[in-house]
């Protein structure tokens, strides 16, 4: 976990030790707060606000994987790497994966990308901000 790679530390890396294994994995994990702080009071974010924050953090995670070049520590015999960005907000999760393959000049080229949203039920959050004081009453 948190191996020094490129310009920082990835959250989780899985590198193949055997030359017969050609796949490496790199994970970046982020979290998003469910509450806003306004005038010293906490209030729950709306479902739309949480969705936007999850998507923004996912994009930021994928950019961090590329900008900090975590894949540089992948052994030379590994020809493919899957880069994952996971973002959590309570029981809600957004995941993205990008697959890169080493070309003949030893550079990485993106060959596939996908994104998945996992929400148990965004309607549980509601569409209105609710302050902690309202919940206690």
Q: What is the pLDDT of residues 73-124, one digit of tens each?
A: 888 899 999 999 999 998 888 999 999 999 888 889 989 888 776 655 444 4
CB-count burial class (<10 Å; 0-12, 13-18, 19+) for 116 = exposed
The pLDDT of residue 55 = 92
Say if pTM beats, i.e. exceeds, 0.75.
no
Q: What's the whole-number mean pLDDT along residues 6-21?
A: 77
Share of the chain above pLDDT 70, in %: 78
71 within domain boundaries: yes
Report the Cα–Cα distance between both ends of the chain, in Å, rounded: 44
The pLDDT of residue 118 = 64
Q: Which domain holds residue 58?
A: 12-136
Q: How many domains does the structure of the chain reveal?
A: 1
DSSP code, position 46: P
4 within domain boundaries: no
Phi-psi region of 98 (alpha: psi -120 to 50; beta: other; left: phi over 0): beta
6 within domain boundaries: no
2 within domain boundaries: no
The pLDDT of residue 62 = 92
């Amino acid at each position: 976990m948190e191996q020094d790679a490129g310009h920082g530390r990835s959250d989780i890396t899985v590198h193949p030790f055997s030359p017969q294994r050609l796949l490496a994995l790199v994970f970046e994990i982020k979290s998003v707060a469910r509450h806003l702080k306004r005038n010293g009071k906490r209030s729950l974010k709306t479902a739309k606000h949480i969705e936007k924050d999850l998507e923004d953090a996912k994009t930021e995670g994928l950019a961090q994987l590329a900008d900090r070049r975590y894949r540089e520590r992948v052994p030379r015999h590994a020809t493919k790497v899957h880069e994952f960005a996971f973002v959590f907000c309570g029981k809600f999760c957004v995941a993205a994966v990008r697959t890169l393959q080493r070309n003949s000049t030893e550079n990485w080229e993106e060959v596939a990308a996908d994104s998945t949203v996992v929400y148990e039920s965004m309607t549980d959050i509601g569409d209105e901000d609710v302050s902690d004081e309202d919940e206690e009453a």
